[in-house]
Structure 1
């Protein structure tokens, strides 16, 4: 087995020191924006202005650790906005790779973890604004707000340069303003337990995002944006976050956004926040807080290094349990008043137009870490322990019947007997991809189609990538690479419809005609297909997850 440090759009930092992210007094030149009584100096190049590292919340350190974010307050003085702020603390996620992976597969995996090193620290709640240089306050351009992915355990706004999006929007004569923000991750952002629930401080990372959206409402006018025309957009954990922002507050957006665009993420089958109790207890024990009369207070005072080390010792996205995440959003009774999928059933979801899409082989990337499962009995035990919790043996049997040990039916799909890394690999990959990504997306769309305008896509690009196929995150290049999905995004942000003068027509998704824009390699870049594949399997997984959420 080879070991590789893989982070989904996260960084490898040599040290995790707590540094100050608040902009310092600055005397340089560049584009200037005035916020309150403060001025922020950014950079300009190629007709694009960038303002980076603007704090939107008070530093969540000291007694503010594990508390809801507090607005930064009024800005004063002159500040440097020419560099990204600190990235939030990241969870270590080493992946033990199976031997013999082909070079293209290794290159793809390495690309996920070879981002520029950005310093890490708890004082990380900053955001970035990128806009056409010619816009002025009051230009009222549509705004797109990006939320990064990374399994809720790593990631940074610094990994994504919205210049591509803004430049393309100018070329399409539909200019937009781009915003991205950091939010707390891992244990720092998604601590989960009875103690957390009682204190009403669950899902802090989602609260961070919400506060950043409030900042956009207050200040985006100064950058030429229109606060009434905000679209929230994310990938993976970022897309799940977008969907959960749609479920917050009973579905009342509070005017914070008018549309949503989701890549590989929908409301996931998770349950109550107390389901994370064992990970909370582990942190408490590792930080010598076990005997404390108030363990949450003790954790707030724990040394940063001790908390980081404890978090790094919990299962990560690339651990054996894979997508059964230790740190993730859960129903806390406040931000999420019920299990996310139950909120969808109850209709407590924002009535806004949205796009929700997936990659064809969502599960392959997350099945490398359990390649030692090679027998039916091992898979049965694995599913019962991590995903099909408290279901009957007969129900597990039914799942395995619907997802048989037949390489021609597994993921990467439509590749025959190729990519059979182990006898169970393609089977596991199809199961995990459907359980966490495909089935929730279909459930989300089918519950809301006809009630609001919806579109969906399926990316089958990079299908020839050995072992992984059209893997999770393989569609990011389609959008941050300035390709066709970029145009659809810009049209959607501008007109609440992804269709424009460029690209094949993308029909709406309805329950009677669940049409997918299917992205393809080769001479024909896209086709329209129906979202009916693996219907029996996904329906049964959804049925189980509604009763037995993670």
Structure 2
């Protein structure tokens, strides 16, 4: 009996080993994982490690990622690589806030459940199990969000999405990546600008796009059929890739998807000088002739300790963040919204959608604000210091103080945490997400094939409603939004062959145009999808847009 059991285990182990998928990258054989329906290749380095010292290049921290010339040694790609160093997130709620809010927001300051390391520039590929280098499947490249402060690819499971693509008859290859965030990826100052090293996180992403062109065929993908997709900071990243390189995709992608993020109202990279100066002083580099070079030499722990003392997206000033994409003269040559106005947008089809209650998640930080004057002073202090009090007051007067008019929208007076909470949330959501989204479509939708959605599911969730990022559970959970993304990746059209004008999950999704600005709207209840016009809060959003164009952050 024991001998038979041992024989069985040995045979099982041999079968499992034989079933492990492999790919050939240059001179190396890379071994992955197989779960029966998909192959996973995880933690593949796409650039030289930033913290390694090399006599030829010195410390690669705060420099452009250097591609690996060639893979020469066999290795296993069976686990996600280390997470790039994360900025500490901590939301402190007053004791009087209902327990349900504490429960909903409990994950904000939760520790990242995987190792963190500066040596984090890795890429992951998930593909159908039966692919070959000749399969030529469409490719979907995922860029995570996290406010340019945090984020990592293992927080979303691309295997479910690939399995859904197989079930839909349009299999895709899924790629996700690590890119540098916070001070390591988006440091901003005159010193950074002079060195030509702004927006390093975006440059990391671009390096992955080049990696995909070189290697994705080995995993069954077609490098000529790449769609880039991101959420929040990831969506803003995707938008930035549409604007860089004089709007020339350079063959790196053919389509784009943006969830809750559009070209932003950002100014010159020197606007980040106060944060840079704080870090330099805090780590002891203040007297260095070359402060940027000094930052490359200090221990990572010291750099992150200084970084964590700066405001984050759950600090009092919320989304007035220290680290964000900025105009660096290299990757972004002008305010992204000005580039959009000039028509400098890549000529590729795209999807760009928003959630109904984008602002609620970021509106628990300033619960002390109790009237219009305090709201105006808050926004003038942190977001629009050059705007006049009169300008800001005029816009806030377009946002009624009646809780029934605020966000979560369409919930009456429910979720009125304070007298100004829903008003603040409505303004915050429009300011960062809805206004840039509508401006973007108003400028380019008649010149590009573009589709837009409005996600209104989850209204029953107290205080949050259809909040920022809530659509990801659908996109990654074999839902109807995820199905649309898969279809778009495969065919450059989010509609299915049997789409009709009936109210169903296969409702025909028309292109967005200025004459017919229609949104595919996802609803709770018996009617899962409908079409609505993009005309809500028209006067308020237009006023916000003009303010953003006048005073870029």
Same fold (TM over 0.5): yes
For residues 132-531 of structure 1, the aligned pairs below 5 Å read 132-500=128-496, 501=498, 503-531=506-534
1:3-82 mapped onto 2 (5 Å cutoff): 30-61=20-51, 62=53, 63-82=59-78
Equivalent of 1:95 in 55, 68, 91? 91
Q: d(CA) in 2 for partners of 1:149 and 1:137?
A: 31
Q: What is the CA-CA distance between 1:107 and the residue it aligns to?
A: 3.9
Contact 2:349 2:449 in 1 (8 A): yes
Secondary structure (helix, strand or coil) at the match of 2:239 reads helix
1:100 to partner: Cα distance: 4.9
Contact conserved, 1:115 with 1:159, CA < 8 A, in 2? no
1:545 aligns with 2:548: yes
C-alpha contact 2:93 2:102 (8 A) present in aligned 1: no
Q: Distance in 2 between matches of 1:114 and 1:359?
A: 24
Contact 2:399 2:423 survives alignment (8 Å): yes
Output the CA distance in 2 between the equivalents of 1:107 and 1:166: 32
The structure-2 alpha-carbon separation of the partners of 1:503 and 1:98, relative to structure 1 and needing over 3 Å to count, comes to farther
How many Å separate the matches in 2 of 1:115 and 1:295? Answer: 31
Normalising by the residue count of structure 2, what TM-score does the alignment of the two structures yield?
A: 0.93
User: 1:12-53, CA deviations, whole angstroms, 9 ceiling, x for partnerless residues?
Assistant: xxxxxxxxxxxxxxx966110000001110000131100000
| Whole-angstrom CA distance in 1 between matches of 2:397 and 2:271 | 28
User: 1:464, CA displacement in angstroms?
Assistant: 1.1
**Secondary structure, counterpart of 1:372 in structure 2:** coil
Please state how far the C-alpha of 1:302 moved relative to its aligned partner: 1.1
Q: Cα deviations across residues 295-343 of structure 1 (Å, max 9, x unaligned)?
A: 0000011111100100000000100111111101100000000011111
Give the Å deviation of 1:157. 0.7
In 2, distance between residues paired with 1:127 and 1:105? 35
Q: Which has the larger radius of gyration?
A: 2
| C-alpha separation in 2, matches of 1:175 and 1:492 | 12
Distance in 2 (CA, whole Å) between partners of 1:228 and 1:505 is 27
1:107-122 pair list within 5 angstroms? 107-111=103-107, 117-122=113-118
Tell me, which stretches of 5 or more residues in structure 1 are unaligned? Answer: 1-26
Question: Is residue 104–residue 465 contact of structure 1 (8 Å, CA) maintained in 2?
Answer: no
Distance in 1 between the 2:196 and 2:306 partners? 23
Distance, in Å, in 2 between the alignment partners of 1:140 and 1:132 is 12
- Residues 89 and 108, structure 2, Cα contact 8 Å, conserved in 1: no
Deviation at 1:109, TM superposition (A): 2.5
Tell me, yes or no, if the aligned pair for 1:28 and 1:41 is still in contact at 8 Å.
Answer: no
- Does the CA contact (< 8 Å) of 1:98 and 1:368 recur in 2? no
Secondary structure of 2:133's counterpart equals coil
The superposition leaves residues 105-146 of structure 1 with CA deviations (integer Å, 9 ceiling, x where unpaired) of 444323556686110010000010000010100110000000
Aligned to 1:368, the other structure's residue is in SS state coil
Residues 115 and 44 (structure 1), Cα distance of their counterparts in 2 relative to 1, 3 Å cut? farther
Cα offset, 1:97, TM superposition: 2.0
Q: Residue 376 of structure 1: CA displacement?
A: 2.3
Aligned residues: 524
8 Å Cα contact 2:265/2:548 also seen in 1: yes
**C-alpha distance in structure 1 between counterparts of 2:100 and 2:252, whole Å:** 42
Which structure 2 residue ranges, 5 or more long, are not aligned?
Answer: 1-15, 54-58, 499-504
Distance in 2, Cα, partners of 1:252 & 1:113: 39
Following TM superposition, by how much is the alpha carbon of 1:365 offset from its aligned partner in structure 2, in angstroms?
0.6
Cα displacement (A) at 1:102: 4.8
